[in-house]
Chain A
Amino acid sequence: MLRIQAAGPTAGQFGSFVRNVDSHTSVELTGLSSTATHTAEILKSGNIDALIFPFEWADVVRTLEVSRGAPKPDPALIVVAERLSPPILVRSLACGFDGAVETQGDVDHAVQKIHKVVAGDWTLESEPSMAGLDLRRGLLARELIIEDINDRHIADLVGTGLTDDDIALVMGWSIQKVRNRIENLLATNELAYRTQLAVIRASLLKVPDFS
């Protein structure tokens, strides 16, 4: 029996999907949380196999992952969308989801897919549309590793949208020193692209405290 907690609105398509999942013989629905705070408490309890969220709650999952600070989720985090398109899969993977299911179609199929995600037999990264993208799970759902105050300044300035030339001017450094520092920040944080550093730095400024 799969123990699933839902988090999201009780009404609408997601609520309807949750009720369908609840009626499935291989699922025990432990509840439906409609606030991020309650969801965080459920997540910390660790007494469930999977947490399902509507795609609209992707940023809630991102902030939950940041506050939890765990590299590997337990339970599995699964996004629910009417239809899974490549942009939805990319955003979900970056926010820290492990898997994804569609509300349209057979609920048996969706539950089977949740079972596969929980068992580790299927992940978002294994989706064909993710092939060739330099994306890792939870890219946006973690704190940056910052070694010193100058790295913090560089991350802030990149997150502000300044060019390398502008940053060199602000810091009073050579362009070479700025680029070497950015390269080191990217490598330390296992990021492939400068924009990823900017987005993570900028987005973390809005993370609420769930503790």
Chain B
Amino acid sequence: MNDEVFRLLPEAVATDDIVDDPEFTEVTRNGEVYTLFRIVRFTHEATDHPEGWTHLANVVRVRNSAIGVALLRIENRVIEDARVTISNNSP
């Protein structure tokens, strides 16, 4: 983790402190596959990330359970873009 870009958030930060809706859809495979996730906890905040990501969060996949980590771009409390890395398919 690049400490110059990512800052660890206190555990006390609640999801609704940062976004209005904790559920978001990641779009993959050339815009064809839609996968719904829910944010469990924001872990890091990013500053001046070269790819525009603003936050890092622990997430769960809503259908076909799995857990993972999401890079998020949040603007005005709305998740505009997401890239999820699944770390476990059966939490």
Q: Among residues 154 to 211 in chain A, which have CB atoms less than 8 Å away from a CB atom of chain B?
A: 164, 174-177, 179-180, 182-184, 186-187, 192-195
- Contact across chains for B25 and A193 when beta carbons are under 8 A apart: no
Contact of A194 among B23, B31, B63, B79 (CB under 8 A): B31
Q: Hey, which chain B residues are within 8 Å of A192, CB to CB?
A: 33
- Contact across chains for B32 and A182 when beta carbons are under 8 A apart: no
Interface bin, chain B = 10 to 19
Whether, in the assembled complex, B35 has its beta carbon less than 8 Å from a beta carbon of chain A, the answer is: yes
21 contacts between A and B (CB under 8 A): A164-B31, A174-B78, A176-B21, A176-B24, A176-B78, A176-B79, A179-B24, A179-B25, A180-B25, A182-B25, A183-B35, A183-B36, A184-B36, A187-B36, A192-B33, A193-B29, A193-B32, A194-B31, A194-B32, A194-B34, A195-B32
Interface of B, secondary structure class, is: strand
| Residue of A with least CB distance to B76 | A174
- Complex Cα distance, B79 from A195, in Å, reads 23
Q: Assuming A180-B36, A182-B34, A192-B33, is B63 touching A187 (CB within 8 A)?
A: yes
A157 to chain B, nearest CB (A): 15
- Contact across chains for A186 and B80 when beta carbons are under 8 A apart: no
Q: Hey, which chain A residues are within 8 Å of B33, CB to CB?
A: 192-194
Seed contacts A176-B25, A179-B24, A194-B31; 16 additional CB < 8 Å A-B pairs: A164-B27, A174-B80, A175-B78, A176-B80, A179-B34, A180-B21, A180-B23, A180-B24, A183-B25, A183-B34, A186-B34, A187-B36, A187-B63, A193-B29, A194-B34, A195-B32
Q: Hey, which chain A residues are within 8 Å of B31, CB to CB?
A: 164, 194
- Complex Cα distance, B27 from A195, in Å, reads 13
B79 to chain A, nearest CB (A): 5
